[in-house]
Amino acid sequence: MVQFFILQHRVKSTFNPLSEVVAMASNIVLSNTDYKVVGTRPIRHDGTDKVTGRAKYGGDFSASDLLHGKVLRSPHAHANIKSIDISKALAYPGVKAIITGQDMPVTKMDSPGRTARFASDNVMARSKALYKGHPVAAIAAISTHVADSAATLITVEYEVLPQFMTVQEAMKEGAKPVHEDVTTTELGERTDKVSNVASHMRFEQGDIEAGFAKADVIVEHEFNTATVHQGYI
């Protein structure tokens, strides 16, 4: 960046031929002090506007002819959706459109893009809510107030299903499957077993029993961690 600005300044001020400009750029030598920032007081050109409130953010601007959205979400973590009635909400003044899971494309589980199926299910619930807060319907209206009011007019009939609070509960034999068409891949082999275990893998190294036999102290405990984004920016 520093080389570019120096080069730009010289080009504007001298009108040198391109060959001379390239030669000048190759002779520019910058020391480490030119890049030093820590310990200095750089000028924040946007600082005054931000601390005085003059700076404009996205929320400070409004455009005409915009539609506002509202998403109706499932209050249940696991439930069959028996029916959705959007007729009253669709007739509400100011409502332009309403979509449900029936309006969304379906990716089959046996398609090459199997992972896309899970993404397809998560966009909007169809016949089943898979988690609390799963989108059930989306409303487009002329204002947020109209969209909020219309959402209260949508009637959803649920059949609440067993909810699992731990992985162990979900993996138990006989546990109600969240995805009815997910079969378990057992040690690399596809099976016809429908369960909440999508895949069972095993990694082994060394003789575990021999290691325990030689150990002076054995500590056994169970540890749980939250979901973490790797390299989250």
What pLDDT is attached to residue 13? Answer: 46
3-state secondary structure of 96: strand
Question: Looking at per-residue confidence, does 66 or 182 come out higher?
Answer: 66
DSSP bridge pairs for 139? 70, 98
pTM for this model (two decimals):
0.64
Q: Where along the chain do the CATH 3.90.1170.50 domains lie? A: 68-160
Residue 154: burial class (beta carbons within 10 Å; 0-12, 13-18, 19+) = buried
Question: Looking at per-residue confidence, does 59 or 69 come out higher?
Answer: 69
- Compute the average pLDDT of residues 184-191: 85
* C-alpha closest to that of 154 among 201, 68, 90, 197: 90
Q: Are 122 and 130 in contact (CB under 8 A)?
A: yes
68-160 CATH: 3.90.1170.50
Work out whether the CA dihedral 24, 30, 35, 40 comes out positive or negative. Answer: negative
Can you spell out the DSSP letters for 140-154?
A: EESSHHHHHHHHTT-
3-state secondary structure of 193: strand
For residue 210, pLDDT beyond 80:
yes
- Compute the average pLDDT of residues 74-94: 96
